[in-house]
Amino acid sequence: MKSAVFLGKQNIQVMERELPELGSDEVLIKVMACGVCGSDVHIYDGDQGSTSTTPPLVQGHEFSGVVVEVGNNVTSCKKGDRVCVDPADNCNACYYCASGMMHHCAHMGAIGTNIDGGFSQYCKVPGRLIHHLADDVTFIEGAMEEPLACCINGADRSNIKVGDNVVVYGGGMIGLLLLQLAKRRGAANVVLVEPVEEKRKMAEKLGAVFTINPVQENVKAALLSHGLNHIHVVIETCGRKNTSEEAIDIADRGGTVILFAVTKVDSKIDLMTYELFQKELTIKGSYCSPYAIGRAVELINSHSIDVTTMLAGTKSLEGLTEILRDPAVRAKGKWVILPNGPVD
């Protein structure tokens, strides 16, 4: 089988590898589609993703495909099933797993981060991590289950209420999914802050009441000019110091700020502690969440959320390096790798 193997900082090579041996509780999947995530870029650049990575490794944690073989003990699926995968392989035994925080597992196994993932023609996964796709859902749509689950967790942590005013920084895949989830939770006004015109247009199509180009406009002044004096929730998906600090600044008294993005391990922001005290702000991070995977699959299977408008296109395994290397390519939108060629 062909796999795109991460060998070290900014070094990925497509090579032939043997099919993995299957354990009795494992499933072999023919990977039909695998999304390229921002954390894949971090790993490619020698930084840390959701957890530590040791090469050689096949990245890719957002994938769907067809079951081609099942272990003797697997009952969750059968050969020929169309599936997607929860990439969080938790121990189910540590303090965090026992406390309902499996995504903070002390022995976290993360497919595509420290376990071989979906940038390969075939991938083996534990059978308990399999989720089924509806017959009318494409493999590309199915591969968006993991980023959507992360966004559901972020929306849950934001505690958006009916009538809230919400500002989302960043019009990538994550920002546009969070915009839709905020609308579903009853937000009165959702505003997107994004410098790229095409992404702003996508946001307006998906329900943003208006968008702001931060290169040309002052964000706080633009909000005030539209009558939004009170911002209840701000979600920052860019991972930049200036936007994180601005998110805290524009949040209203009693507001909530979600810092969603994966940043460099040593990234810091300046926090005005008096502002935190006086405004009684709640500032939260948002990590992955295995508890939201099932909800994400339900939304995709029922076609209740748009996971394709923000897609830039597809590439073969050989095109992965270009996406990871070039910010201009990534700025076009979400990319999906098709390890086995064109799909439905």
Alpha-carbon span 284 to 286, nearest angstrom: 7
Cβ atoms 231, 209 nearer than 8 A:
no
- Residues in contact with 147: Cβ distance below 8 Å, sequence separation at least 6, in sequence order: 35, 37, 62, 173, 174, 177
pLDDT of 344 reads 67
Burial class (CB in 10 A: 0-12, 13-18, 19+), 242: exposed
> Six-digit token pair at 319?
């095109």
Q: Which pLDDT belongs to residue 324?
A: 97
Question: What's the Rg (C-alpha) of the chain?
Answer: 20
φ/ψ of residue 24, rounded to 5: -65, -20
Q: What is the pLDDT of residue 263?
A: 81
Q: Are the beta carbons of 33 and 65 closer than 8 angstroms?
A: yes
CA torsion through residues 311, 33, 129, 60, sign: negative
Nearest residue to 331 via CA among 41, 25, 137 = 41
Distance CA 181, CA 325 (A): 30
For position 238, what pLDDT does the model report? 93
Amino acid in the structure at residue 84: C
Please report the domains of the chain, with CATH numbers, ordered by start residue. Answer: 2-144+308-337 (3.90.180.10), 151-285 (3.40.50.720)
In whole angstroms, give the CA distance from residue 42 to residue 52: 11
Q: Give the torsion through C-alpha atoms of 316, 319, 323, 329, to 10 deg.
A: -100
In 3D space, the residue among 9, 137, 35 whose CA is nearest the CA of residue 87 turns out to be 35
Cβ neighbors of 173 (< 8 A, separation 6 or more) are 35, 144, 147, 310, 333, 334
Q: Report the alpha-carbon distance of residue 298 to residue 104 in Å, rounded.
A: 24
Residue 202's pLDDT is: 94
- pLDDT tens by residue, the chain, 344 residues: 999 999 999 999 999 999 999 999 999 999 999 999 999 999 999 887 666 788 999 999 999 999 999 999 999 999 999 999 999 998 889 999 999 888 889 988 899 999 999 999 999 999 999 999 999 999 999 999 999 999 999 999 999 999 999 999 999 999 999 999 999 999 999 999 999 999 999 999 999 999 999 999 999 999 999 999 999 999 999 999 999 999 999 999 999 999 998 887 888 999 999 999 999 999 999 987 778 999 999 999 999 999 998 899 999 999 999 999 999 999 889 999 999 999 86
The pLDDT value given to residue 241: 93
Q: Which residues pair with 336 in a beta bridge?
A: 35, 314
Contacts of 210 (CB under 8 A, 6+ apart): 191, 204, 226
